[in-house]
Amino acid sequence: MTFANEFVSEDDIKKYGLDELLSEFNSFGWKHGRPAGFRHTWTIDRCRNAYLVHVQQQQIAGPSGRHEPGAEHIFALFVDGVRWLIRVDKTGTSSSIRESPFFIKYNLLEISRAEGAAHGRPAVLSMLKQALTTYGFLSAWKQVENTIVQFSSWEIPGSGSRPV
């Protein structure tokens, strides 16, 4: 089986602690619990016991001084119950969803070290690329036909990455 985008069932939200996960990264928006109307999505591969959750998007000051979505994103990839945190810069994205092909380009900024993980970093990076390719434009919320996902700078120089 491969990765698939899904809306998460209420049972799985509780089983995997997804409300707590998103609250950890979005404390202001989640201070009173799950926001009204919010639906969890994930990109999951049940055969490999792995799933990817988008946990945060960087906010930057726009021209008006108000916060606007930035290019930096944080994902949590769980493999056999071990959490890997990944920070990527979503660069080179097509300017319109009408473009065909539609391009999404990810630049890896950081990946956490999961001590004692059964899978090594190269295997996790490979799984992450597969999950992000399936995640596509916006996971279960919206996909764009003829999307090409590209990856650049997927090796961080030096002795390794630091935790997110």
**Is the Cβ–Cβ distance between 41 and 140 less than 8 Å?**
yes
158: left (phi over 0), alpha (psi -120 to 50) or beta: left
Cβ atoms of 145 and 100 closer than 8 Å: yes
Report the predicted TM-score, pTM, of the whole model to 2 decimal places: 0.85
Q: What does the domain layout of the chain look like in residue ranges?
A: 4-152
Residue 28 in this model has a pLDDT that exceeds 90: no
Q: Calculate the average pLDDT of the chain.
A: 86
**For residues 30 and 136, which has the higher predicted lDDT (pLDDT)?**
136
The letter for the amino acid at 15 is K
